[in-house]
Amino acid sequence: MINVGARIVMVDHAVGRQHRHMPNTHPDETTAELAAIPARMIEAWNDGDATAFAAPFAEDAHFVAFEGTVLHGTEAVVAFHQPLFDTVLKGSRLVNGEVPFVRVHDDRFAVVHSRLSVILPGEAAPSPSRNSMELYTVVKGEAGWKVVAMQNSRVLGLDRQYLLDNVDALPADVAQHVSDLVGAIARAH
């Protein structure tokens, strides 16, 4: 599924065909409602609004950030993100958002998978090293669909993993030297 402007289009990625219904046979409205959750969060991120970013979450939700920080509850999600939005992530943008699948298990339980890219302040394009994927567990209650758990992870190919494994195998002082050298090369280009 790809978010095309304000329209959501379902895509069978295996063959590139558009289709009207997900294989789980739940109505398009339910699938669209669930797929809109990441889109709302992207919009809130781009506005620098941690309260709106946390709005799709249940009060007692768990949020696992890309680097492993585990947050519990919407207040913790807001407290974690707003200082970032006000400082180092101010002006950052989430782009290229897509929802490869929505899996509705029954009338109250669903899983949503999304992908996106990050453009940091001062950058013109996203860095592949910041591409992310998210997995949401969503439950429907009296307040509608709410995220009860979310895992945010970096998309990491085997080539990058191999590089990181090799750097991690170095003594700490040599690994720091490699990191400094790579940073200097990146700044020069």
**pLDDT of 88-118, one tens digit each?**
999 999 999 999 999 999 889 999 999 999 9
Contacts of 92 (CB under 8 A, 6+ apart): 45, 118, 119, 120, 121
pTM: 0.77
CB neighbours of residue 27 within 10 Å: 11
Question: Element (H or E) spanning 57, and its range?
Answer: strand 57-64
Q: Is the pLDDT of residue 164 over 60?
A: yes
Phi, psi of 55 (to 5 degrees): -55, -35
- Give the model's confidence band at 167: pLDDT under 50 very low, under 70 low, under 90 confident, else very high: confident
The CA distance from 107 to 94, in Å, is: 30
Provide mean pLDDT across the span 16-45: 74
Question: What would the two tokens of residue 183 be?
Answer: 């940073």
Nearest CA among 99, 157, 98, 90 for reference residue 119:
90
Q: Is the pLDDT of residue 52 over 80?
A: yes
* Average pLDDT for the chain: 86
Q: To 10 degrees, the CA torsion angle through 20, 104, 1, 154? A: -170
